[in-house]
Structure 1
Amino acid sequence: MTTPFDDQKRRTGFLGSLRSSFLTGLVVIAPVGMTVWLIWTVIGWVDGFVLPFVPNAYHPDQFFKRLFGPDTQINIRGLGVVVFLLFTIFVGWLAKGFIGRSLIRYAESLVDRMPIIRSIYTGVKQIAETVFAQSDRSFEKACLIQYPRKGIWAVGFISTEARGEITTRAETSGKLLSIFVPTTPNPTSGFLLFFPEEDVIELDMSVEEAAKLVISAGLVYPSEKPIKPENFRVRAAE
């Protein structure tokens, strides 16, 4: 014999099962959907920027109109990305040659004479060289630092060893490391800080794993690994 309490418990269990299945489905669908949406949006943005520079006679829709009739409307998404990639490869190939380097030097000499444009161009060029240049200048290690005060820990990325006026002006006898401390959930913004080498604790996790930790606001931790003895430091009490 069932009671109203049993019926209520059964309904609660059924609703709880539906809720659990719905949340599990979101966990599966959300990453896929967001990834597809982001790629689709970026491709559309590049198409909208690049395609106006392509002569109308070379658009694929003109070919389909001649083939199927003037009323044919076909939008090939991603054509602008292909044109952009081919154009970028051509410019890079040209810039590697003697003539290309000479033209770039001449153009940069003209830009250096323009006060406002010079500042914008120099800043963008430095960022592009830092991000896209094929060199060793990239974040090599994730680290822990005490920031914004002692006792509070933050994840950072070791950039380079400080040089020049920074090291001579700083009141420290040892090495200074350039540490980039990203913000959550946007790791492309943050703070550039200079720490004494002895105050920086290198982490075993990779830069990608540390970036995931920052982006997820501490929800996604890397798989636990045994701590290397050389990375475990015991500090004497001050």
Structure 2
Amino acid sequence: MTETPTTHEPQPPKKKQHPFRRAVLRGLAIVMPPLLTIVLFIWAWNTIETYVFLPLEATARYATVWTIWDVRENVPDGVEVTERQGHQYFTAGDTTYVQLVRNKRWIPAYVYHNVEDNAEAWPANQPPPSTAKAYFHQYVRNELLPRSRLIPLFLALFIGMLYLLGKFVAANVGRMIVSWFDALIHRLPVIRNVYSSVKQVTDFVFVEQEIEYTRVVAIEYPRKGIWSLGFVTGESMLDIAAAANEPVLAVLMPTSPMPVTGFTITVRRSEAIDLNITIDQAIQFIVSCGVVVPAHQQQKNNRV
């Protein structure tokens, strides 16, 4: 029985994009990277503000209010009460007190007038202060712990904490603790998948790579006719070079789309082709799965 040869029908030519659509897509390609970068940093700051800065700010404010708390329930005996502009005042020692209209308690006049003179600083989602506690908290916000002081101080402390944490992790004890924590997370069924993916991304973005790549090469791997990009990390081992009877190279073969993962192979130096591209250009090529090609390496008028 003879097999009928299969015939491949010619595919219709790929339809060209409309010039307007092509221009819009090019505009998006230009706008999206910086826009997404800004959005990412805004999201990171909002997360830090919500879960770190605001709790610390509230704690500092409550501690400050507790320190300066000075509220009188009644007028001391023998002290004269005066009335000015519809408010009652009395002076005890070096402090002048004013009576609140709502609960008739007496608070320092400097606290009351500071809050009233800065009414525009009241939080939009809160009613104007009417109790002694509310006046003291707003006074601390206005005078003692304003955002203009807290945010620079917080950033300095936060960066300092990150520095100390990084130095601690770089030490042997810190590295052991982090390894133990990673091993503990990897035992949790669902969390370990999310944690591993997030850790790979953060390590790739924030952690300085300890491996120093010397150049980018192309190797026929995993078989002849298939070319893969790799980073030369060294000259491998002497015994392997002796067995190959020629110089060899240790090459890190990164995987797409996360070049932070991969494996190391040893190849003959004669089987590696040096590429005229930088490490960053090679990483962009790998992350984009071959879409982003350096301009000087692009093939002109060659359609796939």
Name the TM tier (shorter chain): 0.5 to 0.7
Deviations 1:15-44 (A, max 9, x none): 945423432332232222222223333444
TM-score (norm 1): 0.55
2:253 maps to 1:181: yes
What stretches of structure 2 of length at least 5 have no aligned partner?
1-16, 66-114, 127-137, 142-146, 185-198, 298-304
CA distance, structure 2, for counterparts of residue 178 and residue 83 of structure 1: 43
Quote the residue 1:26 is aligned against. 28
Quote the residue 1:6 is aligned against. none
Structure with the larger helix share: 1
Q: Which structure 2 residues correspond to residues 168-207 of structure 1 after superposition, within 5 A? A: 171-207=243-279
Shift of the alpha carbon at 1:120? 5.3
TM-score (norm 2): 0.45
Q: Which structure 2 residues correspond to residues 214-225 of structure 1 after superposition, within 5 A? A: 214-224=286-296
Q: Which structure 2 residues correspond to residues 1-238 of structure 1 after superposition, within 5 A? A: 16-45=18-47, 51=53, 54=56, 56-58=58-60, 68-69=121-122, 71=126, 83-90=157-164, 104=171, 107=173, 111=176, 117=180, 131-132=207-208, 137-163=211-237, 167=239, 171-224=243-296
2:248/2:269 contact within 8 Å kept: yes
Per mean C-alpha deviation after superposition, the further-off stretch among 18-27 and 146-155 is 18-27
Deviations 1:116-174 (A, max 9, x none): 839959xx9xx89xx537x7x4122111111111111011111233248xx46994344
Percent identity of paired positions between Structure 1 and Structure 2: 21
Tell me which amino acid in the other structure corresponds to 1:141. R
What is the alpha-carbon root mean square deviation over aligned residues? Answer: 4.7
Larger relative contact order (CA 8 Å, sep ≥ 6): 1
CA distance, structure 2, for counterparts of residue 118 and residue 32 of structure 1: 35
CA distance, structure 2, for counterparts of residue 217 and residue 90 of structure 1: 37
Tell me which amino acid in the other structure corresponds to 2:26. T
